[in-house]
Structure 1
Amino acid sequence: MRRKYGNAKVDLVKIKGKYIPCAFHVEKEVFIIEEILSIRKGMVKCGTPGLRYFVKTQGKETELLFDNTEKSWTVIIHDPQVYGETDGPQRVLEDLKYLN
């Protein structure tokens, strides 16, 4: 499951002349970025240029999207633990065993 939040507040740190996100605030909750997995430049929304950060926070993979035209941040948190998505493929294999 994924949760999407618009207009998130992102804390930036300046390292070697570049600003890098270190934490973000969503719904009165603070998420500290543990690891930056990748940074991509390109389209964030339909035809909107921006930056896309793939980060790891609290054991969850998260996307931070910076929109260059609106100067706003969007956060997408991917949570595989919700609704048992991690054991989904295993359950399908067990169901296939009983069909044979």
Structure 2
Amino acid sequence: MAIILDILTEHLEEIEFLWSQRTEAIRSPDYSVRELLELDDRIDAHLQGLLVGGEHCVEFAVPLLQEGDRFMAFAGAWCLAQIRVFEPILDQINECNLDGVVEALC
């Protein structure tokens, strides 16, 4: 089971990095639509990789909501929403993670 937990951690770290890049890219004239779509595809691949963890996603996702980082909150909230576990999202919403949670749920 340690292997899958390591893989989930790697997916989460990549999502945090790529989502921060995407946030900058959508406001930058230096990115083309094609480059933005490629970035979205990479993000989606890592988000789908999280779902492989099934119930293990919960133990990873909830702490991400508590860290107060917008990009980690996005990953955590998206993962929980996809497996239909909404209570931790609602319990952990605060000013520090609100933008990430909103982006995940939209």
Q: Could you tell me the TM-score, scaled by structure 1's length? A: 0.21
Structure of greater Rg: 1
Between Structure 1 and Structure 2, the one with more helix by share is: 2
Between Structure 1 and Structure 2, the one with more strand by share is: 1
